[in-house]
Structure 1
């Protein structure tokens, strides 16, 4: 992982944003924070080290309507949280459409400009 990936602006996600594993069609956790290059997730199911996943979650769009994003991710790290059965996991985006990347970038910028 290069340093530019870690320097990307991040948005803390204070709302409950569920993340679905699209292959299992099951909610597997919720967003903790996100950048245009990856995300931190609080997982409610065990995750496989160094695995690839297809995930889906929704962020607020320009008109307040939820915008669903589909992403391919690589699990970079995973460690237990203080709650039994949950863990924190860091993912790098492998696939993110141009449209979804622009939506994500705009949402992250909203938090930066509100500070």
Structure 2
């Protein structure tokens, strides 16, 4: 059994949700999992550890919901098995209360769906 010691529950993302660097307006990867305090990115662009980024993604049906804008800190990055990709762990530094609540509701909906 794997023990998850993170404080905030996370939801694994099963659909393709692109993540955009708002400074360059470029897609830098796909959302891997999400909590109200951070996210895992499957990056397809080179990123710098310990750097700050402004990111945007959309939650909802097929990633077409309202945009979520976050200021993030890249805590760690490791190469993925796919060449040119890496796994990147971010914590949220700036996020509105409304958007944090939206993420919290999205994570809970995934937990409820999994519980059946």
TM-score, normalization by structure 2: 0.90
* Structure-2 residue corresponding to 1:24: 24
Report how far residue 46 of structure 1 moved.
Answer: 0.6
Map 1:32-71 to 2 at 5 A. Answer: 32-60=32-60, 66-71=65-70
Q: Distance in 2 between matches of 1:49 and 1:8?
A: 22
* Structure-2 residue corresponding to 1:11: 11
Q: What is the aligned length?
A: 109
Q: Distance in 1 between matches of 2:33 and 2:25?
A: 22
Report how far residue 6 of structure 1 moved.
Answer: 1.8
Mark the runs of 5 or more structure 2 residues left unpaired by the alignment.
none
Q: Distance in 1 between matches of 2:65 and 2:49?
A: 30
Q: Distance in 2 between matches of 1:94 and 1:42?
A: 19
Q: Distance in 2 between matches of 1:43 and 1:112?
A: 25
Report how far residue 65 of structure 1 moved.
Answer: 5.8
Mark the runs of 5 or more structure 1 residues left unpaired by the alignment.
none
Contact 2:11 2:34 in 1 (8 A): yes
